Amino acid sequence: MNKLKITALGVLALGLFACKSQYEILLSSNDLDAKYQAAMEFFNTKKYQKAAQLFESMAVLTSGTARDDTVQYYWGLSNYRNKDYYTAESNFERFVQNFPRSPFAAEAAFYRLDCLYRSTYRWELDQLPTRTCMAHIAEYMREYRGDDVHMEVCRKMMADLQDRLDRKDFEAGRQYYRMEYYPSARVKLLNVLKTNANNNYREDVLYYTAMSSFHYARMSVWQKQRERYLTFVDDYLNFVGEYPESHYRKELDGHYRQVQKILGKDGVADEQLTNENN
């Protein structure tokens, strides 16, 4: 019984070794037809790493032939399906440059975008890859605007990437607010909307702008309070004019009523402000 087990294991090991050897022999051979057929079989059975290695090994052999663009495209697609997005992006970039008239060109261009998109970072991190990806998506949408297949995906990617940029800008301003650097927070937040009036976090930006001016006035020396409370009033009115139903409204309304009492109907003299704060 033990001899039978040992013999069976030995045969299995030899079989596995032989299979591996056959693949390695094929990988290093110049039999283009055999390599191409095997690569396609590996691709269709989802053995993408082996497929990618075979397509890569064929790239020199097929250069300048009718199979050239097919081999290059499936090399990139195999890497993509194997989730090696860095290598796949290089494959597809090179493909688009070398085969702009290929039937695979549009798909290759889109897969390159998807690789770039998957290589971007969360909003807290460096957004240079985000901006690079957005530029390529915009270029793709201009070039292939008649192609409806991927346009909706491109729009969703753009929306997500823009949201990351908007969030990063907003959070940079809010960080000053959290640190209680209220004048700097207000300036930073207003600059967010100067740069991009349609920032996805516009409501939050305007809320923290008003809150910054309120706290800055509250903490100021009495000689400066009237002027700074009036700045809060302006910020408050701007906010409620745009977002009358905001969930921030109740809190801001409370501060506004408090400031109205301090300022009085027609504004107050410095002495009145002093008495209110005492």
How does pLDDT run across 69-100, given as a tens digit for each residue? Answer: 999 999 999 999 999 999 999 999 999 999 99
Task: Work out the average pLDDT over 138-161.
Answer: 90
pLDDT of 195 above 90: yes
pLDDT score at 29: 86
Task: Work out the average pLDDT over 160-178.
Answer: 97
Share of the chain above pLDDT 90, in %: 78
Looking at per-residue confidence, does 180 or 17 come out higher? 180
In Å, the largest CA–CA distance within the chain is 106
Give the confidence band of 28 by pLDDT, cuts at 50, 70, 90: confident
Q: How far apart are CA 85 and CA 18, in angstroms?
A: 32
Give the confidence band of 149 by pLDDT, cuts at 50, 70, 90: confident
Task: Work out the average pLDDT over 43-66.
Answer: 94
Task: Work out the average pLDDT over 145-154.
Answer: 84
What angle do the packed helices 151-178 and 202-218 form, to 10 degrees?
Answer: 10
Q: How far apart are CA 34 and CA 24, in angstroms?
A: 13
pLDDT of 9 above 50: no
* CB-CB contact of 89 with 132 (8 Å): no
Looking at per-residue confidence, does 28 or 226 come out higher? 226
Q: How far apart are CA 267 and CA 273, in angstroms?
A: 10
pLDDT score at 79: 98
Q: How far apart are CA 123 and CA 121, in angstroms?
A: 6
Q: How far is CA 75 from CA 61, 83, 96, 106, in A?
A: 14, 13, 13, 16
pLDDT of 13 above 50: no
Looking at per-residue confidence, does 203 or 25 come out higher? 203
pLDDT score at 24: 87
Give the confidence band of 114 by pLDDT, cuts at 50, 70, 90: very high
pLDDT score at 20: 59
Q: How far apart are CA 40 and CA 42, in angstroms?
A: 5
Give the chain's mean pLDDT.
Answer: 89
Least confident of 174-188, 203-217, 262-276: 262-276
